[in-house]
Structure 1
Amino acid sequence: MSGSGSLDLPAGRPRQDRQAVTRRPVLGRTVPSRALLPWAAGPAWFIAALVTWRWPDADDFPDTNQLAALFLAAGLGLTAAAALRRLSARAPWAIALGLGFTAWEIAQAKLLWLPRPFFGTPQDLLDVFLTDWKRLGDSLLHSLGLLAVGYGIGAALGVAIGVGLGRSLRFRYWVRPLIRLIGPLPPVALLPLAFVLIPSGRLASEALLALAACFPTTILTWSGVAAVDPAYYDVARTMGARNRFLVLRVALPAAMPQIFVGLFMGLGVSFATLVVAEMLGVKSGLGFYMQWAQGWAAYPNMYAALLVMSLMCTGLVTLLFKVRDRVLSWQKDGLKW
């Protein structure tokens, strides 16, 4: 063995054998391995099931047996996933969730450490989904419908206005001051004015959602179109392209990365505007459901609505990222979610 610590191998030994020798573990040294970590996920949920089932509740909580069965099913599913080697990357999170539910069950359902009704138990949350799932589902559909109309109109207008700002000096002269005046305003600040000018609360909410999505999409689209190399336009004109072709086949494809950034930003602002609009103007949706639950001190219902809203927002952002990765396959690793 040389002074640098490398192995001196015979000159005639094949390269594959050299790599095998250099990767051989050193005797007496324990190398940590993550191979057994997935197998700990199932037992973590089995512990949660056992604690829920065998430890007596501090009060008469509903659906304790159902919750224990749910934890048991989760543990069995995670054990099967570990056996199929499909849990290596998500094993730490699965273990943490199982232990987290166990701690929550002990602290609240078994020992009542936190004041009720502000802090519920896992049984309370499960009971909401079992007994009030129809109202939660109806609220989710109303929120999705309101968001789809408002955000869709705002995103389309934002792209159109951004292209106009980037391509036309006259359009930019008249529209740019309005963008600077109205765009930076928080959409929720215009809520009272919208309900006065627009008689329908739903239409007013859709208008505010459109405004929330329009401004960031407009700015980023304008930035992307303005950054297109003029040489691209010159080459297209040389080959007989007209203005429509320059917009649809040159400007928009080149600005598409910036446009998607604007769409992501607009979607985030639209989520906040959606909740406020449903709480104050629209008598339906997840925001209205949360306000109703808070008014009746039904805090488990409020937490259930928050969970559903979180899954909705996460799902929509993930879907938008999937569309982006599909459209911009050449830039798939440029933006992560």
Structure 2
Amino acid sequence: MSRVTTHETTHSSVKDMVWRWGAGPCWGVAAFLTWWLPDGDDFPDTTLLAGLFLACGVVLLILAALKRLRYWAPWSAVLGLGLGAWEVAQAKFLLLPRPFFGTPQDLLDVFLTDWKRLGDSLLHSLLLLLIGYGIGACVGIVVGMALGRSLRFRYWVRPIMRVIGPLPPVALLPLAFVIMPSTRLAGEALMALSAGFPVAVLTWSGVAAVDPAYYDVARTMGAKDRFLVLRVALPAATPQIFVGLFMGLGASFSMLVVAEMLGVKSGLGFYMQWAQGWAAYPNMYAALLVMALMCTSLMTLLFKLRDYVLRWQKDGLKW
């Protein structure tokens, strides 16, 4: 048994070493093919792209030597090979129809020449998202706490939530554009609705699941209603609240793109719509990449906040 275990451990160590030391050369191969093979068309920044690939390969080799590249080594190698294959297939042999499918050079050129407009669009999207999501999350927590603690509030509000809550917010977009004084306010209101419903339902679920004995013990010690809400119900419902916050953030992302494409004349969604209208597909792909990085960064920050607040559960749910 020990011999088999030793063999498996050795095999795993060899495989990890191959991945760790192979990631850098994969990027080196991509750099060599980018520089050596002739372009199939007049593409910008080919030499610069080859230099960036080579620089990534050198950095990965340094990280491998420092033993800092273990978990992400396979991903690093596959990413280098994937970019190299994309470069060869599209920039060198033009295997995919243009201009619908760009090249790595096209994408790099967009970031070099249009970074100001992309950055401005990113700031507008972030501001729109944070206002709409922030309002929706706060209102959702308050409404969820009230639903869980007040029978009278639940009687009047629950039917409204059952009618409006499951309705896709995008279906209310035309009505919101008519009622609201500006398309920006309409987008923020619909993002607040997108985030508020799951946060309210999950907060309500968390409050309803609190053991009644906790309230009885607190009342025995003289606790008032405010203490029961802030010190008993809210902490006990926090895990469920964060689940609602994650769901609400995802729904807000979807509503953000739709609002910017259909009405709000700013942001990454509007930039993508503009790029598609002018057949500037590399710009559209660049905006998609920036949007993906924005969304995953915000979700990561929310998970970091969850791990800080719920320290005893930080190993349970990962992102």
Counterpart Cα distance in 2 of 1:188 and 1:204 = 11
Corresponding residue number in structure 2 for 1:54: 36
Cα deviation 1:174-232 (Å, max 9, x = unaligned):
00000001111111100000010012111111000000000000000000000100000
Q: CA deviation at 1:35?
A: 1.9
Residue identity (%): 74
Corresponding residue number in structure 2 for 1:16: none
1:170-319 matched pairs, under 5 angstroms: 170-319=152-301
Displaced runs of 4 or more, over 3 A: 21-26
Counterpart Cα distance in 2 of 1:146 and 1:157 = 17
Structure 2 counterpart of 1:188, which letter?
A: V
Structure 2 counterpart of 1:149, which letter?
A: I
Corresponding residue number in structure 2 for 1:15: none
Counterpart Cα distance in 1 of 2:5 and 2:296 = 42
Structure 1 counterpart of 2:120, which letter?
A: D
Counterpart Cα distance in 2 of 1:102 and 1:205 = 40
Counterpart Cα distance in 1 of 2:233 and 2:283 = 48
Q: CA deviation at 1:31?
A: 3.6
Structure 1 counterpart of 2:108, which letter?
A: L
TM-score by length of 2: 0.97
Cα separation, partners in 2 of 1:31 and 1:332, compared to 1, 3 Å: closer
Counterpart Cα distance in 2 of 1:317 and 1:202 = 23
Cα deviation 1:143-183 (Å, max 9, x = unaligned):
00000000000000000000000000000000000000111
Corresponding residue number in structure 2 for 1:115: 97
Corresponding residue number in structure 2 for 1:81: 63
Cα separation, partners in 2 of 1:66 and 1:22, compared to 1, 3 Å: closer
Cα separation, partners in 2 of 1:194 and 1:64, compared to 1, 3 Å: same
Corresponding residue to 2:126 among 144, 164, 169: 144
Structure 2 counterpart of 1:66, which letter?
A: L
Structure 1 counterpart of 2:196, which letter?
A: C
Point out where structure 1 has 5 or more consecutive residues left out of the alignment. Answer: 1-5, 7-18
Corresponding residue number in structure 2 for 1:12: none
Q: CA deviation at 1:285?
A: 0.2
Cα separation, partners in 2 of 1:41 and 1:165, compared to 1, 3 Å: same
Counterpart Cα distance in 2 of 1:137 and 1:335 = 32
Counterpart Cα distance in 1 of 2:106 and 2:6 = 54
Corresponding residue number in structure 1 for 2:110: 128
Q: Give the secondary structure class of the aligned counterpart of 2:318.
A: coil
Corresponding residue to 1:162 among 144, 147, 150: 144
Counterpart Cα distance in 1 of 2:68 and 2:249 = 32
Corresponding residue number in structure 2 for 1:43: 25
Counterpart Cα distance in 2 of 1:35 and 1:181 = 57
Counterpart Cα distance in 2 of 1:23 and 1:183 = 55
Q: CA deviation at 1:333?
A: 1.7
Q: Over the residues paired in the alignment, what is the CA RMSD in angstroms? A: 1.5
Counterpart Cα distance in 1 of 2:263 and 2:300 = 28
Counterpart Cα distance in 2 of 1:279 and 1:39 = 44
Structure 1 counterpart of 2:165, which letter?
A: G
Counterpart Cα distance in 1 of 2:179 and 2:262 = 16
Bigger fraction of residues in helix: 2
Q: Give the secondary structure class of the aligned counterpart of 1:218.
A: helix
- Give the count of matched residue pairs: 316
Point out where structure 2 has 5 or more consecutive residues left out of the alignment. Answer: none
Counterpart Cα distance in 2 of 1:321 and 1:286 = 24
Q: Give the secondary structure class of the aligned counterpart of 2:17.
A: coil
TM-score by length of 1: 0.91
1:69-108 matched pairs, under 5 angstroms: 69-108=51-90
Counterpart Cα distance in 2 of 1:48 and 1:64 = 12
Counterpart Cα distance in 1 of 2:115 and 2:43 = 19
Cα separation, partners in 2 of 1:25 and 1:95, compared to 1, 3 Å: closer
